[in-house]
Structure 1
Amino acid sequence: MTDFDYDFFVIGGGSGGVRAARLAANLGKRVGIAEEFRYGGTCVIRGCVPKKLFVYASHFSEEFEDAAGFGWRVGESHFDWQTLIANKDREVARLEGLYRKGLSNAGAEIFDSRAELVDEHRVRIVSSNQIVTADKILVAVGGRVNGVDTLEGQELTISSNEAFHLERLPKSILIAGGGYIAVEFANIFHGLGVETTLIYRGPEILKNFDMDVRRMLHRTMEEKGIRILCHEVITKVVRSADARLDVTTSGGKNLKVDEVMMALGRVPNTESLGLEDAGVATDEKGAIVVDDYMRTNVENIFAVGDVTDRIQLTPVAIHEAMCVVETLFKDNPTRADHEMVATAVFSQPEIGTVGLSEDAATRKYDELEIYSAAFRPMKHTLSGRQEKMITKLVVNAADRRVVGAHILGPDAGEMAQLLAIALKAGCTKDDFDRTMAVHPTAAEELVTMYQPTYRVKDGVRVE
């Protein structure tokens, strides 16, 4: 087949799919894109964007308290859940409109429909049962909520999807999970005045993050009033006579709450996508297997983002999409660089991190220098809040290269973004030491920790 309807067809209208479709269309390619729900995908519609708006909303309860130490007297406050939901929905709709406008202006043809692969060059538009053909195909359908089919009472629980659209704010909530979504929503709901419990099967929240940061956040969350149960899972959920939920845990606890939220991660959204018909290989988790150029085992079919289950972050999907366009349409084969990817957890306080944790670096390098500082941010000296902040640098002793940077505290995500540039460039601890500090800031700690707090040699800490 040589006469195709499209040069490039994209299945999935999330951040990665939209970016690839728009860039290709701007190059004059005939582009089609299909999305079964709303353009913008998980990030814009039911992920990072509405989540960050919720995070902002949840901060105000502490801001009102902290104002007193600076001479402000704030009157009685009242939070209206419906106002937040309405304004959030308005902003999400605005952003979706921008995504659509960008595609239209570039000349891409938009399908508001699910699309499935028929074979390596044919795609079915499900809403109309139309078959279209394409020279190159990109699968960018993202992930979906990971459910627990074996849980008795699963149908009584909600996920992060429903949390953005609750009719009313619950008085109490139990959140299962210990990753980004679970920890962020625990802090959100608590900040909005909800009695919050987090339950996680592991020994400590936020697996794979630096342990010092994990422990300090855990301690701070509990000091705020969030109950955290580790080494436990939910075993049963039952609707009680008073319309609340009775929850039983593996540790023998019985909890009564208004809502139970399952936040156990996300899995590749590859079911019923026609991958087998097209001959596209997947792994044991259902993720599409791709090479360094995002190409599947089928030469003309590519995949980016969460559907490949590599790094589940929106900027990664966008970067991969741009690489695909460079490779396919600019005669510039481009690999996605997955080293030194910065990330943030919008907890309270938030986490910003880039590079290796101390534990991960210990497994890779023979000797490390660890520079760390724990202190109370300047703002809290007058607010009276005892909340601590952490800054930490992980350095390979052999060449003094900074291989990890970890921050817990206000604006940690913003700091991590800038630190990522330095670490990506291969900066050494000597480069940090030569850098003048900006005073008074919390970030100045990153360039004023001149002596290592301790060393790690052959996996053993040396004070």
Structure 2
Amino acid sequence: MAFDYDLFVIGAGSGGVRAARVSAAYGAKVAIAEEYRVGGTCVIRGCVPKKLLVYGAHFAEDLADARRFGWDVPDCDFSWPTLRDNVLAEVDRLNAAYTTTLDSHKVEVILERAEVAGPSSVRLASGKTVTAGKILIATGARPQLPDFPGVEHGITSNEAFHLPALPKRVLIAGGGYIANEFAGIFHEFGCEVTVLNRTDVILRGYDEQIRDRLLQISMAKGIQFRFNAAFKAIEKQADGSLKVQLTNGAEMDVDCVMYAIGRVPNTEGLGLEAVGVELSNGAVKVDADNRSSVETIFAVGDVTNRVQLTPVAIREGQAFADTFFGGKPTQVDYGCIPSAVFSHPPIGAVGLTESQAKQKYGAVRVYTSDFRPMKNVLAGRNERALYKMVCEAASNRVVGLHMIGPESAEIAQVAAVAVKAGLTKDAFDQTVALHPTMAEELVLMK
């Protein structure tokens, strides 16, 4: 039968835009529907604006350190509205750029909500129904909210980019990368920051030594942590402040509560279950080719809850287009995906942690470099960096690299190539160090 489109994409985030653009380049007739703004979580309310805030926050330490390097830096005032508005202006620019890219590839952009009406049909908010040979769900995920009285008085990372003013006292709930990143951002902007975590572990999934080092540094900077506690209730006071009651009986008075306790796939109200698409904890279940339980319906990105990272969504969107419209069957390799935490200082990691490697291989060799970065020495900072290499004992093949310290996230990208290629510790040892750099510690670990 003839369809209105070869491909209809619901959700114009990183994965959906890549799939739409590449499929159209292969000659497919493509439409993409987006109810909010083109660009998705990463561009509009995630990695891009957050990284810009991280850059802005770093200036607090850089300006202080500059005096030790001979610069006559006066006491500087920080303007949150200036940074906020400049970041939001950049988001506007990227939104326009993404839209232009889709237009240039002749992808029809439909700026309204779309729902699945059948295996090959989509119903738009305007009431119009269109048909497509394939439907791709790329609606991403949203911040998860806890359940307790007064939860509505808190914000998520979505709203953090739009705050009218910086709060003096911030309570951030969560122990993952979003919680720790915003803890560093708010702290550098002069806020009193407390991190609330229902367990006693931050950054679960990262190497234990690395996450312990971040905890030590964060506490030394003045960030407070409340472990093994959760919300009981929040009450808004007459002066606008919030009285927080915790399950351990403690109470706190703060000006802002931010929830960073995880993300939930956006599948509600899309009509998926009605047409037979199988979900698992709200996420679309897909096979290695991104196909759902319905032959004509596919999904990529955070809505599948496989690996919630923008580059992964982009790879999945590319693989989908290559496979079904480019004649090049492609499946994403989920091994050795690098990740970063843009905390203060940042973390870069790829491969297995020491604990994971021991479980998989039994015997492992661990090499480390625990050092004070040259810049920190002259700046008078006691903050130490830690690099860690985990190797399979039998072959000395590097199976994991973990770093915390300045520029760790940048260095981790190159390190990921080495781990992905299966290089051994000997290959690192035989490489001449690039001196003086942070990265040279990769080839000097003992």
**Fold-level similarity (TM above 0.5):** yes
SS in 1 for 2:32: strand
> Aligned partners of 1:278, 1:36: CA distance in 2, in Å?
21
Which among 177, 182, 187 is matched to residue 180 of structure 1?
Answer: 177
Of 257, 260, 267 in structure 1, the residue corresponding to residue 257 of structure 2 is 260
Q: What is aligned with 1:138?
A: 136
- 1:86 corresponding residue in structure 2: 85
Cα deviation, 1:354-410, whole Å, max 9, x if unaligned, reads 001111111111100000111110101110011110100000011211110000011
Q: Please tell me whether residue 437 in structure 1 is matched to residue 433 in structure 2.
A: yes
Aligned to 2:332: 336
1:308-457 alignment, distance < 5 Å: 308-449=304-445, 451=446
Give the alignment partner of residue 152 of structure 2, picking from 146, 150, 155. 155
- Segment drifting more, 314-323 vs 56-65: 56-65
Within-5 A mapping of 1:98-137? 98-126=97-125, 128-137=126-135
Q: Is the 8 A contact 1:119 1:279 kept in 2?
A: no
Deviation at 1:68, TM superposition (A): 1.7
Aligned residue type for 1:213? I
TM norm structure 2: 0.99
Shift of 1:251: 2.3
Contact 2:136–2:297 (Cα < 8 Å) also in 1 = yes
TM-superposed CA distance for 1:250, in Å, is: 2.0
CA distance in 2, matches of 1:363, 1:332: 36
Secondary structure of the structure 2 residue equivalent to 1:332: coil
Please list the CA deviations of residues 90-128 of structure 1 after superposition, one character each: whole Å capped at 9, or x if unmatched.
1000001110000000001000011100111000111x1
- Is 1:171 aligned to residue 162 of structure 2? no
| CA distance, structure 1, for counterparts of residue 184 and residue 287 of structure 2 | 38
Q: Equivalents in 2 of 1:242, 1:7: separation in Å?
A: 56
Candidates 214, 217, 238, aligned match of 2:214: 217
Question: What's the counterpart of residue 289 of structure 1?
Answer: 285
Decide which of 277, 281, 286 is 1:280's aligned counterpart. 277
- Decide which of 229, 236, 241 is 1:239's aligned counterpart: 236
- After superposition, residues 14-25 of structure 1 pair within 5 angstroms as 14-25=13-24
Distance 2:247 2:366 in 1: 38
Residue 229 of structure 1 deviates from its aligned partner by 1.2
Distance in 2 between residues matched to 1:291 and 1:413, nearest whole Å: 31
Structure 2 distance, partners of 1:54, 1:264, is 20
SS of residue in 2 equivalent to 1:173 = strand
- State whether residues 196 and 227 of structure 2, in contact with CA within 8 Å, keep that contact through their aligned partners in structure 1: yes
1:73 equivalenced with 2:72 (yes/no): yes
For 2:92 and 2:19, how far apart are their aligned partners in 1?
Answer: 21
What's the offset of the Cα at 1:25? 1.0
Calculate percent identity across the aligned residue pairs. Answer: 51
Task: Give the match for residue 298 of structure 1.
Answer: 294
Deviations, residues 270-315 of structure 1 (Å, cap 9, x unaligned): 11111012211111x1110011111111112111000000110000
* Per-residue CA distance 1:397-451 (angstroms, 9 max, x = gap): 11211110000011111111111111111111111111111001111111112x4
CA distance in 2 between counterparts of 1:384 and 1:251 reads: 39
Partner AA of 2:249 in structure 1: G
Secondary structure of 1:118's counterpart equals strand
C-alpha distance in 2, partners of 1:142/1:67? 41
Moved more, 406-415 or 271-280: 271-280
Q: Distance in 2 between matches of 1:94 and 1:358?
A: 42
Output the amino acid matched with 2:393. Answer: A
Structure 2 distance, partners of 1:423, 1:173, is 39
Q: CA deviation at 1:330?
A: 1.8
Distance in structure 1 (CA, Å) of the matches to 2:439 and 2:249: 44
Counterpart AA for 2:283 = A
SS of the aligned residue for 2:370 comes to strand
User: C-alpha distance in 1, partners of 2:367/2:289?
Assistant: 37
Q: Does residue 30 of structure 2 align to residue 31 of structure 1?
A: yes
CA deviations 1:17-52 (Å, max 9, x no partner) are: 001101111122100000011000000000000000
How far the C-alpha of 1:252 sits from its partner, in A, is: 2.0
- Give CA deviations for 1:239-270 in whole Å, capped at 9, x if unaligned: 12322101111222211110001111101111
Shift of 1:331: 1.9
Q: In the aligned structure 1, how far is the partner of 2:226 from the partner of 2:413? A: 32
After TM superposition, where is structure 1 displaced by more than 4 Å over at least 4 residues in a row?
A: none
| 8 Å contact kept, 2:369–2:444 | no
Which consecutive residues of structure 2, in runs of 5 or more, have no partner in the other structure? none
Q: Distance in 1 between the 2:365 and 2:406 partners? A: 25
Residue of structure 2 in register with 1:192 after alignment? 189
SS of the residue corresponding to residue 239 of structure 2 reads coil
Matched AA of 1:139? I
Distance 2:232 2:78 in 1: 33
Q: The residue matched to 2:155 in structure 1 has which SS?
A: coil
